[in-house]
Amino acid sequence: MVKINTEFIVNAKGRKTAVVIPYREYLVLMEDLSDAAVAGARKREKTISTEEMERRLKHDGLL
């Protein structure tokens, strides 16, 4: 797991109300979240073999 440099904003009572993280770390987190959402959405999709994937990529001119 990636260590994230965080800072907290607190209210007058000292309770944490917000988190501040470096922008680049935010972008990495958003990409990871997006990847997880895609993986979750595709979890029930039928899988294909490596050979079938290669065939499709060749057919599409990507390999």
Give the tens place of pLDDT for each residue, 13-59.
Answer: 999 999 999 999 999 999 999 999 999 999 889 999 999 999 999 99
Q: Are 35 and 29 in contact (CB under 8 A)?
A: no
DSSP, res 8: E
Question: CA 18, CA 24: separation in Å to the nearest integer?
Answer: 18
Domain boundaries, the chain: 7-59
- Indicate whether 4 pLDDT > 90: no
Q: Whole-structure pTM over 0.85, yes or no? A: no
Question: CA 4, CA 22: separation in Å to the nearest integer?
Answer: 8
DSSP, res 13: T
